[in-house]
Structure 1
């Protein structure tokens, strides 16, 4: 395999791994906030 191609594939995989981590963290934050809003809505509507 072309060493340059392998280098590019490895670099892209690292970028995607980092992006996946960021998105997973963001998704967890969104879900937590949505849960908090659902609780607040239940409390407010009473």
Structure 2
């Protein structure tokens, strides 16, 4: 009977650990999604910045030398 109690206790420990890990995994996945969105936003802003700089360079007069 002692073996059965140890097995049951260990299984309970593993069930608890599995629940904790599942929660951590959800948190990690949510953070990764947020970072993907932030990365896309920064890339778009950088592209817009380059486009504005390019447009300004074509409009700006060349300094006289």
Settle same-fold status: TM greater than 0.5: yes
Which has the greater radius of gyration? Answer: 2
TM-score interval (norm. to shorter)? over 0.9
Report deviation, 1:12: 0.2
Output the TM-score relative to the length of structure 1.
Answer: 0.94
Structure 1 unmatched ranges of 5 or more: none
Moved over 2 A (4+): none
Judging by fraction of residues, say which structure has more helix.
1
Give the superposed CA RMSD: 0.3
Structure 2 unmatched ranges of 5 or more: 45-65
1:6-21 counterparts in 2 under 5 A? 6-21=4-19
Report deviation, 1:24: 0.1
